[in-house]
Structure 1
Amino acid sequence: MAGPGGFPTRGVWRRPALRWVDVLVGAALVALLYGLVRLAPALNAPFLPGTAPSTVSTDPSHLPYYAVRSLVRMFAALALSVIFTFVYATAAARLRRAEKLLLPVLDILQSVPVLGFLSVTVTAFINLFPGSELGLECAAIFAIFTAMAWNMTFAFYYSLVSQPREFDEAARMMRLTKWQRFWRLDVPSGMIPLVWNGMMSFGGAWFFLAASESISVLNHKYALPGMGSYAAAAIRKGDLGEVGIAIAVMVVLVVGVNAVFWRPMTAWAERFRVEESQAPERPRSVVLDLLRRSSVPELIRRPLRPLGAALDRATRPLGTAEHPLTTTTVRERMGDVFFAGAVSVVVVFFAWRALDYVHTTVGLAEFGYALALGAATFGRVVVLIAAATVVWVPIGVWIGMNPKVTRFAQPVVQVLASFPANFLFPLAAAVFLALGIPLNAGAILLMALGSQWYILFNVIAGAQAIPFDLREAMRSFNVGGPLKWRVFILPAVFPSYVTGGITAAGGAWNASIVAEVVDYDRHHMQATGLGAYITSATEVGDFPKILVGISVMSLYVVLANRLFWRRLYRVAESRYAL
């Protein structure tokens, strides 16, 4: 059949044939939605604090259901962390006055252990949803969120403050609104470090899954169905067989999440790399290839495009993106003084109330005792960071600068980093007991299992971000050996290392709450340190000591960040930003 002019018209208006890749992607999407709908009633199950179960069944047949419940909590916390990162990091990077407040607050939030958040939020969430398990679910998700958000926020903040000046000038010349600049410049330029640190934060959150699902706080014990609560119950029973089953299931979960989610994300993020030369080999993902070949993502994206255009129009009254500010007027200085004064008044008021509360309960001398315990934990953190730097910086550079190595090493590193090391604590306790190793020394190793990976992942991301034209220039000039490390590699990865170091230090302080107290069967091992102090106070519901412990831990972390890590940040911004 021919139309006017003799051109064939057969099949012109025929719909595209249904392809197998569309069927596969559509079936996976339907299965995901169906699973969430079936799971929703369990999240809102009846709940009475006085009769709530304090443990879960360790029957292995329940593990598939527990795994799904834990994955839902993890991804819900990840979504909240991304939203928080976008809002908080952007405000800290773009609002000059707010930065002076938001960064110290972020230091404090990073230093507060998961148990510290749980001791305050569990009762609040239960009262927010009375008679429903949804309150306890929200508390668990919030606890996992606190283990993810800070590292991602630091990474995205650094990507914003280290943007090349020409990007800012281009945004001004194109008259982009603040909303357009955020989605077309800020997010793409920070996508690679955000994805890598999101992957690391997701892995670090597995470490605190047991504390988030098997909650022992304020003399109450609550247990939610999940892999963390299953492992906690198996560890309390001292059944190494059930602990081994939990470890095997966790390995499957970590590998599956890496293959289905994080591997596609890292491959997709490569599109935002800015460089003049092409990488010899880029990360690939079978899942991402399937999504790119399928028309299902486009069918989902198409109805959302008018919404994006409407948001662009709606945000134009906010004005164009003009950052950074280049002038400082007398009015701005007066505003700075007023802002600093208001913040100081609020801080002094709450500090005085806290001191008065501690003075009337356990006495101010408790701060001196907690400071001494904090010195012991601080020593462990210093040893851990120094050892992790020496070991993982060369390995991270080797992985990040060799695409073929990255392809094979990334899944292995992801499994090691994502595996909840506290699942291995019973085995470690058995080894410590057999060899006579005190937990005061062994706690360093246990803390390292949950925090050293921040340095490795950030160094890998920093090495991968080095433009290939600079690498080719080093090869052209025959620069190698120690000189190449001193003038090229170490300066290039230094900003990423600082991000990894500050988050690894914060992660080590957080890990101390589970690493300095280890229970296995009838054995109880406890190290001398601030983490053990906070854990003991949380379990018995001694809120004054919880307040003292968290305050002292925050003091140590903030001072270390202010006196050491922030200075390294300034050096990285001024001398080593690519």
Structure 2
Amino acid sequence: LLMLTVFPRSNIGLELSAVLLIVTCQAWNMAFSFYQSLKTLPKELEETSSLYGFTWLQKLRWVELPFATPGLVWNSMVSVANSWFFLMSAEAFRAGDKNFQLPGLGSYMNAAVEQGNTRAQIYAILTMLVLVILLDQLVWRPVVAWSQRFQVDEGAEVDPGDNWLLRLFRRSRLLKWLELRRSQRLLRRAPRPALIRKAREEIQRPGRLGSWVAASAMLGVLLLLALGSVSVVRLLAEVSGAKWLVLLKAGGASLSRVLLSTFLATLWTLPVGLWIGMSPKWSRRLQSVVQVAASFPSSLIFATLILVFQSMGIGLGVSCVLLMVLSTQWYLLFNIIAGAQAIPADLREAASAYRMSLWKRCWNLYFPAVFPFLVTGWVTATGGAWNASIITEIVTAKQHTLRTFGLGAEVVLATEQGSMPHLAASALLMAALVVLFNRLVWVPLYRLAETRYALNR
């Protein structure tokens, strides 16, 4: 709505709001992955960077980013899948008596679902499958193969990382010629020790201009937050106590569904992720299947699945949990695969040498080894489940609206009715529940994973 007021005569505001929604869906998952990599950075790498006197920028470029690359690649696939998931909500939504739509596959599918046009839904699903397969072949498979070079454990049995597109690039004469010209230009450059020393000093000790810019930016952000807080407080003052009680009950219902869906997803992703991650043969065979399945937005078939569940006598309160599992399982699976691939080969060989049973290996080695990655998967999966609650707790199909009691449904109803106080209260309560659960559960688990279960410490 803010973007629409800034650009009232064009679709630029709608396009920017859709892009912002998709960016926010993608960014936090990769941020958690990078944070987890920094917390589990091996001590020998930190000592090496200190020994060579790396600046913070050099350490980021040559140590931290390469170490975090495998996890970032896997989580990037989940982030893109999550953006496809929210395509329908980003391209078509209602606010009050106004219906906003952007040209795109998401709005096309949304219109097909509302009209009950099965043929149009099939066309949209087939088009999405083609896009997902092309993205897998042209982007994800080459990137995953390239990321294998950043595996820290040299003795681990990993996939050699071959791909038809990478082979094509490596055989390209044009790319070889461009690389040769670049190397020749770098060799012809005369060294400038004085400029190098000056640049290092500026990197190590930021000048006054950088400090002033950073302080001014921070002050501007704080002012914007203060102004926004005043507006939010005015809106919240209009919400009655009875309404707050209803929202609290709705928040408890949604939280229980979020935790239940995460638990159900963990039951199958943990063994399957360990199996795929520790077997290069099966990893190579199933990698494309998993990537395509994860990239396909399950939100496109939510309405159809809900109607099927309704015909089977399963209410929306139960079916929305199953649909949340569809949206959260990939966060867990990809993190567990990345954790399984990071298990040191010498520990696996020691478990084999001591002839440990499968259960002892899982309990004493595999589960503790992937625990830091599993915590990251839990954090991102619960975030995805909260987002999915907005889509799954209230669904419109064939001119009929199905609804179950929950905070996600309250957010959608407030948006459709144009009730800004109700919307602000619902969104604030959802954010408060996420932050409270983060402080009480995820922070202690992250601390436990960092101090006790990090194999590189």
TM tier, smaller: 0.7 to 0.9
Residue matched to 1:316: 200
Q: Percent identity?
A: 40
Shift in Å, 1:561 = 1.3
Shift in Å, 1:131 = 4.4
Q: How many residues align?
A: 433
Distance 1:429 1:508 in 2: 17
Q: Secondary structure of 2:157's partner?
A: coil
Distance 2:230 2:259 in 1: 31
Pair 1:416 & 2:300 matched: no
Shift in Å, 1:502 = 0.6
Structure 2: gaps (5+ residues): 206-220
Match of 2:81 among 203, 212, 215: 203
- Cα distance change of structure 1 residues 457 and 500 upon mapping to structure 2, 3 Å threshold: same
Distance 2:77 2:198 in 1: 33
- The answer to whether the 8 Å contact 2:415/2:423 transfers is yes
Amino acid at match of 2:161: P
Q: Secondary structure of 1:452's partner?
A: helix
- The answer to whether the 8 Å contact 1:389/1:455 transfers is yes
Q: Deviations over 1:27-47 (max 9, x none)?
A: xxxxxxxxxxxxxxxxxxxxx
Distance 2:300 2:319 in 1: 15
Structure 1: gaps (5+ residues): 1-118, 322-342
- Cα distance change of structure 1 residues 456 and 133 upon mapping to structure 2, 3 Å threshold: same
Q: Report 1 or 2 for greater relative contact order, CA contacts < 8 Å, sequence distance ≥ 6.
A: 2
Distance 1:161 1:293 in 2: 39
Distance 1:432 1:177 in 2: 57
Residue matched to 2:108: 230
Amino acid at match of 2:436: L
- Cα distance change of structure 1 residues 318 and 219 upon mapping to structure 2, 3 Å threshold: farther
Distance 2:316 2:27 in 1: 30
Residue matched to 1:391: 268
1:149-298 superposed matches below 5 A: 149-217=27-95, 219-279=97-157, 281-297=159-175
Shift in Å, 1:563 = 1.0
Distance 1:205 1:194 in 2: 16
- Cα distance change of structure 1 residues 346 and 215 upon mapping to structure 2, 3 Å threshold: closer
1:77-156 superposed matches below 5 A: 119-120=1-2, 122-123=3-4, 127=6, 131-156=9-34
Residue matched to 1:4: none
- The answer to whether the 8 Å contact 1:260/1:287 transfers is yes
Distance 1:345 1:131 in 2: 28
- The answer to whether the 8 Å contact 2:391/2:408 transfers is yes
- Please say which of residues 282-291 and 492-501 is displaced more in the overlay: 282-291
Shift in Å, 1:215 = 3.3
Amino acid at match of 1:532: A
TM-score by length of 2: 0.88
Pair 1:517 & 2:400 matched: no
Q: Secondary structure of 2:61's partner?
A: helix
Amino acid at match of 1:173: L
Distance 2:110 2:119 in 1: 13
Aligned residues: CA RMSD:
2.7
Distance 2:390 2:177 in 1: 47
Residue matched to 1:36: none
Distance 2:198 2:310 in 1: 65
Amino acid at match of 2:78: M
Pair 1:455 & 2:339 matched: no
Residue matched to 2:215: none
Distance 1:150 1:261 in 2: 21
Distance 2:18 2:224 in 1: 30
Amino acid at match of 2:22: I
- The answer to whether the 8 Å contact 2:156/2:344 transfers is no
TM-score by length of 1: 0.70
